[in-house]
Amino acid sequence: MAQGGAAARGAAKVQDQGWAWMVLVAAVVLQGLTLGFPSCIGVFFTDLQHEFQATNSETSWFPSIMVAVLHAGGPLCSILVKRFGCRFAVMVGGLLSSVGMVSSSFCKSLSQLYLTAGLVTGLGSCFSFQAGVTALGYYFVRWRTLANAMASTGVSIGLTLWPLLSQYLLDEMGWRNTFLIFGGILLNCCVCGAVMRPVKFALGSLLQFPSPEEEPGRRAEEVQLSNGASSPHLKLQEQTRKIACFQALQKYLAFDIFCQNKGYQIYTIGVTWMMMGFVLPHVYLVPYAIQNGVDERRAALLISIIGFINIFIRPLTGLLSGQTIFTGKRIYLYSLAVLLCGLSNFICVISAKFSMLIFYCVILSIAMSGIGALTFQVLMDVVEMDRFSSALGLFTILESITLLIGPPLTGLLVDITSDFRYVFYTSSFFLISASLFMVLSFCALEKKNKLKDTSKVPPDRSTIYNETPNESQSESQPTLAVVHITSI
């Protein structure tokens, strides 16, 4: 007991002070290296297209695969973190990201680029980012909200610096050598992972060994199996394996929540549809500017402007949405940000002058800050926290599907029409329709809940969006265990 108390006191000393702030710095760098990295791919779009004589649709598969894998790898990262820890997952992710980019510098075709820079680097970035956020949650308790807000600024810093660095290296030494250098830069994820040493907890450090009473029975069973006899426990083991597989799917992919919770269902469908258009300006803005006579360096500067404004606007948006006046109403703020993002695309259609494109980037960045700050906040409002990690797993996987197919389908439209303006038309369609769908659906859901309240249905809901089962259902269903959040 004395050793356990000493271990607990040691863990408490680590949290919220001392080395925890070094872990926060590492998390900022990690988010800049991982989430900020895909923003620079648009700088290489035209060069890759000319190098491999590819269409817009074929070239756009490269960033689409990278971003989709970055979002879809959450459940796999969660398993890796639980099995080996956050430090190991971050360092493995950094190694994969580096290997993917170094290998891509030797690619002879776009299909090889899909595999190396798209799949391998995207998966490595997913491991490093999500394991880094998880480690941050272990090191901070009292100041966890502040730590997450500060760490998210790394994304905006990455959005600012990656395009500028990419354009400079591309002009000096070409895209192949640039990708080779990027492989070395991404190895710094391993350094950040090394900083995130494990926090030892008294209860979590105990290992479970079989009791002496169980050993004779196990040994007798092993002797019977070695002699060719069938154990009565084999059928039971097969059943438990099936149950374990079902529980794992329920844990990481919340299909039951999707079917029962109308708020989660509406929000997931709306965000999945929105992502078809959300990522398009990031992929095609630089090629669109270059096609309309903007210098390549100035075109790359447009993405950096978006990132620079995000550094200041995103924390302010998070603080504003955290006010009590917006409790239960954040979905409408989120929908407003999505609507503004969709309407801003018409600025590019009106004019492609550099001054108008700068104005477009300012408006787009403000809308993006609202979307980035509220995406997971609204999800926490819709779903109970004990099922948040499983709801997040299904949410990110569905989101990654539309992130994967959105840019290539739009690229095919550009190839047919030879007009980049259709990129912004398409983006506006998905964003505006998703915004209207979420607003109208949640308004209808609120009216339905109010009618239930007036008809003497007990309003025992954790939030205004949740629909909980009645008493007879809750007695027949088993109680779900609390699931620790291992991916954000």
- Rounded Cα distance between 360 and 341, Å, is 10
Q: What's residue 241's pLDDT?
A: 72
Which is nearest to 303 in space by CA: 7, 48, 63, 52? Answer: 63
- Residue given tokens 């992972």 in the structure block: 193
* Three-state SS at 188: helix
Q: What's residue 234's pLDDT?
A: 64
Dihedral sign for Cα atoms in the order 94, 95, 99, 102: positive
- Rounded Cα distance between 125 and 69, Å, is 9
Question: Half-sphere exposure (CA, 13 Å, Cβ side) for 37?
Answer: 30
Question: Half-sphere exposure (CA, 13 Å, Cβ side) for 98?
Answer: 16
- Rounded Cα distance between 476 and 214, Å, is 33
- Rounded Cα distance between 162 and 477, Å, is 50
CA distances from 231 to 125, 212, 214, 223, 262 (A): 45, 21, 16, 10, 46
337, 373 Cβ separation under 8 angstroms: no
Q: What's residue 211's pLDDT?
A: 39
CA–CA–CA angle 253, 256, 260 (5° rounding): 135
Q: What is the DSSP string of 211-270?
A: -TTHHHHHHHHHHHHHTTPPPTHHHHHHHHHHHHHHHHHHHHS-HHHHHH-HHHHHHHHH
71, 38 Cβ separation under 8 angstroms: no
Q: What is the pLDDT along the chain (488 residues), one digit of tens a residue?
A: 444 444 445 445 667 677 888 998 999 999 999 988 988 888 898 899 999 999 988 998 999 999 999 888 877 887 888 888 889 999 999 999 999 999 999 999 999 999 999 999 999 999 998 888 888 878 887 777 677 777 888 888 998 899 999 999 999 999 999 999 999 999 999 999 999 888 765 444 433 333 334 444 444 444 443 444 445 566 677 677 767 766 666 666 667 788 888 999 999 999 999 999 999 998 899 889 998 888 888 988 998 999 899 888 887 887 787 777 877 788 999 999 999 999 999 998 898 899 999 999 999 999 998 888 788 778 878 888 677 767 777 888 888 899 899 999 999 999 998 888 999 999 999 999 999 999 999 999 988 888 887 775 555 444 444 544 444 444 444 433 433 343 33
Q: What's residue 153's pLDDT?
A: 82
Q: What is the DSSP string of 364-411?
A: HHHHHHHHHHHHHHHHHHHS-GGGHHHHHHHHHHHHHHHHHHHHHHHH
- Rounded Cα distance between 451 and 445, Å, is 10
- Residue given tokens 């710094």 in the structure block: 188
Which is nearest to 281 in space by CA: 224, 184, 203, 365? Answer: 365
Provide Rg for the chain, Cα atoms: 25
Q: What's residue 482's pLDDT?
A: 37
* Three-state SS at 480: coil
